[in-house]
Structure 1
Amino acid sequence: MKRLAGPLLAAALSGCAGLGSFEPATPPDYTGPTVNVADQAQQASGQLLHVFEMTQVDGRRLSSTSMATVRANQGRGFAVAPVALTNELPVRPARVRLQAATQYAAPILAMTNPTCRVQGEVVFTPEAGKAYRVAGRIAPEACEAWIEDLATHQPVTETVAGKGTKP
């Protein structure tokens, strides 16, 4: 089984790389105000993270917290530490793709433990002068993600929801 971990990780990363290049959340020609939207990676154990992230804005594919965490933790065996990214978004309505996912230190752990991954698009209209974060919940009954106001912790988008970690 141990021989599968390297090929599985390589296949996962090469599949992501083959989808095209990453772009900034703010288009290059935009010159107006921006707001910060932070991804969130919660340490559930030494081997498991719960990741809540923004992966696309208006169809532009973003570099993700999940991929940054995999790159930063290569060679650490069965230990994982989070690497959360942030994005600057224009102050205007946008369609954003959110994701909630379990992320294990090694692929073999994901094959033998409960997992979840849910993605979906929501409309997000940021307000100037505010900061936001992608929040969510990973539980046996549901996996969810939304964007919330960082100061008030109140949701500002609809929730993307899917099947929980219960088998």
Structure 2
Amino acid sequence: MKPRALPLLGALLLAGCASFEPATPPDYTGPTANVADQAVVISGQRLHIFEMSAVDGRRLSSTSIATVGANQGRGLSIAPVPALTNELPLQPTRVRLQAATQYAAPILAMTNPTCRAQGEVDFTPEAGKAYRVTGRIAADACEAWIEDAATQQAVTAKVSGKGTGG
């Protein structure tokens, strides 16, 4: 069993017990910018997920959580849900990003290479721009960052963790 798979499994199981909040504070009435999660299909059993899971301490619903719910009962196959998006106010924020390997079934995560890196970065969205969470999952590194969707240029620092090692 791969020890790194257990925290991801635990986080996904506990996710159903938590409440989620909108990315934009309830009292905010100004303009916003869109930030999209991203799910990359690696095989019919494995996805790479790059997502924003919190903004200024508010826990967000995310693509990995939605994918777990949508794929219950599918056995050893997985399909991503359409990437979730969040509207952020045009002000400095602190966002929690995550890069993770997501498998169709827990047994696959315990017997195959996994990755999970998460951390917080500062981000100030700009008017009229769209962003997406992207990253890299490889043997040597597991990373996530936010990029400008039009230019594909990074607009935040990276969060990094151990690679899959295999």
TM-score (norm 1): 0.90
- Show structure 1 runs of 4+ deviating over 3 A: 9-14
Find the partner of 1:72 among 70, 89, 102: 70
- Residue aligning to 2:3: none
Equivalent positions of 1:121-132 (< 5 A) are 121-132=120-131
> Would you say 1:90 and 2:64 are equivalent positions?
no
Equivalent positions of 1:16-35 (< 5 A) are 16-18=15-17, 20-35=18-33
Separation (CA, whole Å) in 1 of partners of 2:96 and 2:9 = 24
Measured at CA, do residues 103 and 13 of structure 1 come closer, stay the same or move farther in structure 2, by a change above 3 Å?
Answer: closer
Q: Is the 8 A contact 2:92 2:122 kept in 1?
A: yes
Equivalent positions of 1:17-166 (< 5 A) are 17-18=16-17, 20-83=18-81, 84-166=83-165
Percent of pairs with identical residues: 77
TM-score (norm 2): 0.91
Separation (CA, whole Å) in 2 of partners of 1:101 and 1:65 = 11
Q: 1:16: how far off? A: 2.2
Q: Deviations over 1:61-98 (max 9, x none)?
A: 00011110000111111111111211000011100000
Measured at CA, do residues 13 and 117 of structure 1 come closer, stay the same or move farther in structure 2, by a change above 3 Å?
Answer: closer
Q: 1:30: how far off? A: 0.2
- Residue aligning to 1:4: none
Q: Deviations over 1:79-123 (max 9, x none)?
A: 111112110000111000000000000000000000010000000
Separation (CA, whole Å) in 1 of partners of 2:80 and 2:161 = 23
Q: Secondary structure at the match of 2:74?
A: coil
**What is the aligned residue count?**
158
Q: Secondary structure at the match of 2:100?
A: strand
Separation (CA, whole Å) in 2 of partners of 1:147 and 1:120 = 12
